[in-house]
Amino acid sequence: MDAPLITNDAIVFGLLTAVLGLIFYTKSRGGWWDKFYTFIPIILLAYLIPSLMNSFGIISSKESNLWQIAKDYFLPAALVLMTLSIDIKGVLGLGSKALIMFFTATIGIILGGPIAMLIVGSFSPETVGGEGADAIWRGLATLAGSWIGGGANQTAMLEIYGYNQEKYAAMVAVDIVVANIWMAFLLYGAGNSDKIDRWLGADTSAIERLKTKMADYTLSVERTASAPDLVVLTAIAFGGVALSHLVSAWLTPFFEAQGLGDTILASSFFWIVITATTFGLGLSFTKARSYEGAGASKIGTVFIFLLVAIIGTKMDIFMLADQPLLFLVGFIWMAFHAILLIGVAKIVKAPFFFIAVGSKANVGGAASAPVVAAAFHPALAPVGVLLAVLGYALGTYGAIICAQMMAAVAG
């Protein structure tokens, strides 16, 4: 189908919310549905159903501006509401394993690229070949930038290595499909993390303490939300959104004027995420923290699920039919990243939470790392943000190292 069945964003958004409503309604019914959702976590279903709607031409992310709205409004609003009542000492007290798994994820991306090229090049050298601006390693360098940092790092790699932009769409397709399929696995794991943690022999005590402390605090301040409470929460959430865009509008051109246009400091999205998180954390030290009792994190969770559904619309499974061997490079690359993460987690007995968030802080950045973290518990969303910011900082450097290794493999 050349054109999607539905192109009106208002209808698409209503359809996505209806899907989420149906998922949560069936989850609340109990009985047979309890068994179903034991195997299929609700957050995974919230992601997969929109992706299938996109793949089968019912809707299309290419014809929609919903992702821009989700990224600019829903994400910062969710970050403000989910950090409003956070115990920052508890987050910082999660220990060194979070950083170990983050850096393992980064190393997995750096080494995975050249290894994938070597494997595919052994039976299909033309897939990873090319000369000059058409050299495939130059295009794969943009994937390294995206999978270690994010969109700004990806663009930086495109500029640095000068890959033929007429062929760049194929790299974007590999990026979207491979990264989103991996995200589906992580969301499934988030719904079954207890079993995975037992297999890993992981010590989840610090995470459980933080979850328990947050749950106890929520109970201690819980009240029936009044209309004024909900209006104030809306003001806090979207006041934070406004502030984050205001700061971004100030700082982005400032750093561009300093000659830093190719760095993360000139990314408007970077400053939106940083400001929203900082604003929420700042409020957690004030009386505004008590609004957790009126449902701050619950409303934040609604925004997170809307984000998940809209992210799902970006995946088209039929893209796999285009240049399948180039997708094979991406899948081998991501598989190496995953195997290294699981191996190190098994050695250091790290919880699956650190695997998932460490990976998405690299591969997904600030747009999806807090989403995956919140799939475990709303209190853990800031961990995803903090690690994603670290990914932004390292993205360009790690991608350059990876690109040089891939250039050496390509000869």
Instruction: Report domain extents, the chain.
Output: 9-410
Distance CA 363, CA 104 (A): 12
What pTM did the predictor assign?
A: 0.72
Q: Determine phi and psi for 322, rounding to 5 degrees.
A: -90, 125
Instruction: Give the CA dihedral 367, 369, 375, 378, nearest 10 degrees.
Output: -90
Distances (CA, A) of 372 to 39, 44, 58, 188, 216: 18, 10, 26, 10, 23
The pLDDT value recorded for residue 359 is: 92
Distance CA 266, CA 317 (A): 33
Question: Using an 8 Å Cβ cutoff, are 376 and 192 in contact?
Answer: no
Q: Report the chain's terminal Cα–Cα distance, integer Å.
A: 41
Question: Using an 8 Å Cβ cutoff, are 365 and 153 in contact?
Answer: no
The dihedral through the CA atoms of 23, 356, 368, 272 has a sign that is: positive
CATH fold label, 9-410: Na+/H+ antiporter like fold (1.20.1530)
Q: What tens-digit pLDDT sequence spans the chain (411 residues)?
A: 568 899 899 999 999 999 999 999 998 888 888 888 877 778 778 888 998 998 888 998 888 899 889 888 998 898 888 888 777 777 677 778 888 999 999 999 999 999 999 999 999 888 888 888 888 999 999 899 889 877 667 767 877 788 886 677 778 788 878 888 898 889 889 888 999 999 999 988 888 887 888 778 878 888 898 999 999 999 999 999 999 999 999 999 999 888 877 666 787 887 888 888 889 889 988 999 899 889 888 898 889 889 888 888 887 777 667 678 888 999 999 999 999 999 999 999 999 999 999 999 888 776 678 878 888 887 787 788 778 877 776 777 888 899 999 999 987
Dump pLDDT digits (tens) for 138-190.
Answer: 999 989 988 987 766 776 787 778 888 667 777 878 887 888 889 888 988 98
The pLDDT value recorded for residue 111 is: 96
Distance CA 386, CA 275 (A): 12
The pLDDT value recorded for residue 245 is: 96
The pLDDT value recorded for residue 262 is: 67
If you search the block for the tokens 């609340």, which residue do you land on? Answer: 28
If you search the block for the tokens 């559904």, which residue do you land on? Answer: 309
The pLDDT value recorded for residue 254 is: 93
* 208-211 contacts at long range (C-beta below 8 A, 24 or more positions apart): 209/90, 210/87, 210/90, 210/91, 210/93, 210/94, 210/377, 210/379, 210/380, 211/377, 211/379, 211/380
Distance CA 364, CA 334 (A): 13
Angle formed at CA 198 by CA 98 and CA 110, multiple of 5 degrees:
40
The pLDDT value recorded for residue 253 is: 93
The pLDDT value recorded for residue 263 is: 66
Query: How many residues are there in the chain?
Result: 411
